[in-house]
Amino acid sequence: MTVYMRKRINTQLTFFTIFIITAVVSVISILFYDILKKQVFEDLRINACLLKEIDETQLVNFKDLRITKIDSDGIVLFDNNADIGEMDNHAYRPEIEQAKEKGFGQCVRRSDTLNRNTFYYAINLDDGKILRVAHDAASIFGIINNIIPIIILVFLVILLIIIICARFITSRLIQPIINLTNYTNDIGCSQPIYTELLPFINTIRMQHEDILKNAKMRQDFTANVSHELKTPLTAISGYAELIENDLCNTDEIIHFSKEIRHNSQRLLSLINDIIKLSELDNMDDKSSFEFFDLYDVVSKCIDMLKVTAMKNDVSLFLEKSDDIKINANREMITELVYNLCDNAIRYNNKNGRVDIYIKNIDGKKTFIVSDSGIGIAPEHQERIFERFYRVDKSRSRQTGGTGLGLAIVKHIVSLHSASINLESKLGEGTKITIVF
Ligand code: ADP
């Protein structure tokens, strides 16, 4: 579900502010009413005290206040505003009951006689009678009624200001988020941005860079594959054409056939390596892992490579110092060992040697392939693990290399959460250490 952030912030900000203002106005009104009530009762009290001594004949002249005298048993003796003949017994009026009990009483209620909301204050007189003064609530709240239109007007103006402010604040809040798009693309972007969003932006930026890097790698890989496939295919096609047109003698036919076989072999190795790489790319679970003895795998690889070693006049030595069992994919480890040993033989000198060690170093399961070969110059050492990177292309091709061997090794190492370390000196040899 998508929602418009701007609309949501705007609405919530507006409603929240309206709610706060309404709450504040309500609290102020309640406090105001309370103060007003206290003030009215205080006025009535003062009036009652002053009127205590005044004679009933004079009390008739007070028009603003309703003044009532009640006997101790509740019979109304005097009222300057109503006909006492029609008034019932007042003994149970709340203010009268209070006055009888504690000397004075007060309350706000609807008058039974006048049928209006009224403030009452009653006091006990010395002769046991009760004097009650009352004020019509309508005349007091009339003041409030007069200011209600002004309050409504002020409220509407405030509402308008809130709406305008909410829009302005929302725009300001949203702007840094809108700036995000530019910020993720342009590192030096000078537009303001929320500090809290920086980790998010950095993640996006890193992912963006990864995507670009991967796209570039894929492009390079496709270009390299096409190139690597094209060269042997062109040779095969050329030799086949010569044979087809009967343009060569028997010796040449044998030579060209050998070349066709050699190039086909190259194509096959290349395709096999590409398939292996793509299998490794798609493999991310450890379900195919098993515990096995590393020595078994290494000795089998050495057996497979004996012929190549002999052809290159290189001697292989395997030294096993400890029993090392690893939890790994047997096929992948065979590939890794084979590739490293094969390289150590192929990039070696006549009468060179390859030493292979299986041992525990500082409690870590370690596999080492060390050769006395041509070595790798420092500037190439980082890059030889890249796909199709070769220091000497012609030597690699001549010896049946595809340029993918170490890329496969690196991939297998990372899938096994192992580490790889290369030490090499040009002209002296190379040592590759894998720690499981
Ligand atoms: P290739 O199929 O060309 O051998 P790799 O990926 O196995 O491809 O190796 C990449 C490059 O690293 C090789 O072309 C070679 O130049 C260099 N290289 C690898 N192993 C060794 C080694 N043991 N001694 C010297 N150079 C090596």
**Cα–ligand 1 centroid distance for 349 (angstroms):** 14
Overall domain count for the chain: 3
**Cα–ligand 1 centroid distance for 390 (angstroms):** 6
Of the residues 261, 281, 301, the one at which a domain ends: 281
Q: Is residue 261 located within the same domain as residue 300?
A: no
User: Which atom of ligand 1 lies at the shortest distance from residue 429's CA?
Assistant: 24
Q: Which residues line ligand 1 at a C-beta cut-off of 6 Å?
A: 339, 343-344, 347, 371, 373-376, 384, 389-392, 396, 401-407, 430
Name the residue of 269, 276, 340, 396 to mutate for ligand 1: max ligand atoms within 8 A of Cβ.
396
**pLDDT at position 149:** 87
Q: Is residue 238 located within the same domain as residue 347?
A: no
Specify the residue with its C-alpha closest to ligand 1, atom 11. Answer: 390
Q: Is residue 297 located within the same domain as residue 255?
A: no
**pLDDT at position 1:** 66
Q: Is residue 402 located within the same domain as residue 268?
A: no
**pLDDT at position 187:** 59
Rounded CA separation 232/236 (Å): 6
Q: Is residue 294 located within the same domain as residue 419?
A: yes
Specify the residue with its C-alpha closest to ligand 1, atom 20. Answer: 343
Helices (H), 245-329: 250-282, 294-311
Rounded CA separation 136/60 (Å): 17
Residue 134: burial class (beta carbons within 10 Å; 0-12, 13-18, 19+): buried
In a domain, 67, yes or no: yes
Domain coverage including residue 407: 290-435
CB 318 within 8 A of CB 299: yes
Name the residue of 390, 392, 421, 422 to mutate for ligand 1: max ligand atoms within 8 A of Cβ.
390
CB 104 within 8 A of CB 97: no
pLDDT digits (tens, 9 = 90+) for 316-362: 999 998 899 999 999 999 999 999 999 999 999 999 999 999 999 99
For the domain that residue 56 is a member of, what is the CATH number?
3.30.450.20
Q: Is residue 25 located within the same domain as residue 75?
A: yes
In a domain, 366, yes or no: yes
User: Which atom of ligand 1 lies at the shortest distance from residue 374's CA?
Assistant: 25
- Residue 144 vs residues 29, 115, 150, 344: alpha-carbon distances, Å: 10, 21, 10, 100
**pLDDT at position 92:** 92
**pLDDT at position 271:** 94
CB 324 within 8 A of CB 360: yes
Q: Residue 382: helix, strand or coil by DSSP?
A: coil
Q: Is residue 223 located within the same domain as residue 316?
A: no
**pLDDT at position 215:** 94
Rounded CA separation 333/225 (Å): 25
Rounded CA separation 366/352 (Å): 23
Q: Is residue 325 located within the same domain as residue 414?
A: yes
Q: Is residue 398 located within the same domain as residue 295?
A: yes
For the domain that residue 245 is a member of, what is the CATH number?
1.10.287.130
In a domain, 209, yes or no: no
Q: Is residue 271 located within the same domain as residue 309?
A: no
Of the residues 262, 281, 300, the one at which a domain ends: 281
Specify the residue with its C-alpha closest to ligand 1, atom 14. Answer: 390
For the domain that residue 400 is a member of, what is the CATH number?
3.30.565.10
pLDDT digits (tens, 9 = 90+) for 393-411: 888 888 889 999 999 999 9
In a domain, 64, yes or no: yes
**Cα–ligand 1 centroid distance for 235 (angstroms):** 24
Closest CA to 276 of 341, 220, 332, 214: 332
Of the residues 143, 173, 189, the one at which a domain ends: 143
All residues at 6 or more sequence positions from 10 whose CB lies less than 8 Å from its CB, including other chains: 166, 167, 170
User: Which atom of ligand 1 lies at the shortest distance from residue 397's CA?
Assistant: 3
- The secondary element (H helix, E strand) that includes residue 142 is helix 137-178
Specify the residue with its C-alpha closest to ligand 1, atom 16. Answer: 391
**pLDDT at position 285:** 73
In a domain, 199, yes or no: no
In a domain, 348, yes or no: yes
**Cα–ligand 1 centroid distance for 322 (angstroms):** 28
In a domain, 203, yes or no: no
**pLDDT at position 331:** 93
Specify the residue with its C-alpha closest to ligand 1, atom 13. Answer: 390
pLDDT digits (tens, 9 = 90+) for 272-330: 999 999 888 887 777 789 999 999 999 999 999 999 999 999 999 999 988 999 999 99
User: Which atom of ligand 1 lies at the shortest distance from residue 371's CA?
Assistant: 23
pTM of the model as a whole: 0.63
Strands 314-320 and 130-136: unpaired
**Cα–ligand 1 centroid distance for 426 (angstroms):** 13
Q: Is residue 230 located within the same domain as residue 338?
A: no
**Cα–ligand 1 centroid distance for 343 (angstroms):** 6
Q: Is residue 377 located within the same domain as residue 301?
A: yes
**Cα–ligand 1 centroid distance for 106 (angstroms):** 106
CB 428 within 8 A of CB 375: yes
**pLDDT at position 134:** 93
**pLDDT at position 188:** 61
In a domain, 240, yes or no: yes
Q: Phi/psi class of residue 371: alpha, beta or left (left: φ > 0; alpha: ψ in -120 to 50)?
A: beta
Q: How far is CA 325 from the centre of its chain?
A: 41
Name the residue of 356, 389, 406 to mutate for ligand 1: max ligand atoms within 8 A of Cβ.
406
Per-residue pLDDT of the chain (436 residues; tens, 9 = 90+): 677 888 888 899 889 988 998 899 889 888 988 898 899 999 999 999 999 888 888 888 888 889 999 999 999 999 988 888 888 899 999 999 999 999 999 999 988 777 788 999 999 998 889 999 998 887 766 767 777 888 889 989 998 998 999 899 988 888 888 887 777 666 566 677 788 888 888 898 899 999 999 999 889 999 999 999 999 999 999 999 999 998 788 999 999 999 999 999 999 999 999 999 988 888 777 778 999 999 999 999 999 999 999 999 999 999 998 899 999 999 999 999 999 999 999 999 999 999 999 999 999 999 999 999 999 999 999 999 999 999 998 888 888 899 999 999 999 999 999 999 999 999 999 999 999 9
**Cα–ligand 1 centroid distance for 266 (angstroms):** 16
Closest CA to 112 of 64, 76, 63: 76
